[in-house]
Amino acid sequence: MHPSYASVIKAEHPQNTDLPRYYSRKEKKPFPVPIVELRRAARERIKKRKGQPRRPVPPPKNGMLVKSFIPIAYDVYNSRIALINNLKKLLRAVPVHACKSHRTVLTASIQLCRYCNEIHVGPTGHPFRSCTGQNASARRGLHDWTTATVEDIFLPVEAYHLYDRLGKRIPHDQRFAIPRIPALVELCIQAGVDIPDFPTKRRRKPIIRINKSEFVDADESELPDPDPKAPKPPILTEIPDFEIVGPSNEEETTLLAEETLQVWEKMRKGAQKLMKLYPVRVCGYCPELHIGPSGHKAQNCGAHKHQQRNGQHGWQSAVIDDLIPPRYVWHVPDVNGPPLQRELRSFYGQGPAVVEMCMQAGAAVPEQFRGTMRLDVGIPTDPKEAEMVV
């Protein structure tokens, strides 16, 4: 007899995974890399440099741009604009049903609770009693749904615009004099995107560093003036709301959803590459972001126990979810089937709002989100069947 071999199926992504841990307002965000590992890596760098000649500081720390990252910055900027335009079009294609809403329906099947920051993608809002907003106790935690906008799906995270990314830190008394723009746009500007409305300083020679915190600009008088007519990569612009035209049929809706997913993934992957060289800081207590080597000095942190810190932010390295929040929502297994049931909440998965919206429009879900959305997990039809699940 031939020996029997058990077949083992391996997959890169697990069948069922949980969402990233939620940290309450009373907790500080953990560092992306523990302090112990950072100190160990610093000691190793010092040992390797001992006895060797000092190397010149590479860009972008010397004030110059990383030329190979300039096309990536333009791709990220254009991907952001394309994502906003596609979401506006996609919102016109999916019908919306919202309770207590008698306004003209111009958005999609994404519903925003008017009392908290939770959203839901689907024909009706979910029945879970998870509202923590105003008068939530009177409604016993039920959400009061209304129509949502693009800003509810793709959160507008803002940061200060710096004319000189190596300049002095923003003091507290100048916090209102400096404009605030989308943080992703500021990252692209510092990485090489030229936008006339937001000028920034471009150096053509490395800086001359005096000490760790002081430097002077090199003399650029002998260099020829830059050609203003030099060709630059094209930049997309947002389409006004009154010019938005949604897809006319199901096939166009599916193509638009697939394109939206590709643009969203391209934007996130490109932003991760930029963050490796151009530092992004986030407060460990609140969502405040700063694009630059060190955070600003504005004392506007209102998180838990901010009085003990005099309103100062606790800056640390940011991750991609701080720059581009994914906005997790409940996954609807069947849009045309029965609505979500409160008793089966533990069986439902969750995923980013953009992914859930594109999936309901006909696009295929990326593999990395199948585990959190629990697409390969069977869901009972009623609570009695759920009690028999082992």
User: Where in the chain are the domains?
Assistant: 58-87+155-220+229-323, 108-148+326-387
106 has a pLDDT exceeding 50: no
- Residue 366: partners with Cβ closer than 8 Å, 6 or more residues away: 261, 265, 355
Contact 242, 250 (CB under 8 A): no
What is the rounded average pLDDT of the residues 191-211? 93
Q: Which percentage of the chain shows pLDDT scores above 70? A: 90
pLDDT value of position 9: 47
pLDDT value of position 12: 61
- Residue 192: partners with Cβ closer than 8 Å, 6 or more residues away: 65, 66, 67, 69, 70, 73, 74
Closest alpha carbon to 271 in 182, 356, 354 = 182
Report the range of poorest mean pLDDT among 88-102, 157-171, 286-300: 88-102
- Residue 39: partners with Cβ closer than 8 Å, 6 or more residues away: none
Closest alpha carbon to 16 in 295, 377, 335, 279 = 377
pLDDT value of position 102: 27
Residues 330-384 pLDDT 10s? 988 888 888 889 988 888 999 898 998 899 888 999 898 988 998 887 888 887 8
Cα of 163 vs its chain's centroid, Å: 24
Max mean pLDDT range (158-167, 325-334, 357-366): 158-167
Closest alpha carbon to 79 in 7, 174, 185, 176 = 185
Could you give the 3-state DSSP secondary structure of residue 146?
A: strand
Residues 62-93 pLDDT 10s? 999 999 999 999 999 999 999 999 999 998 87
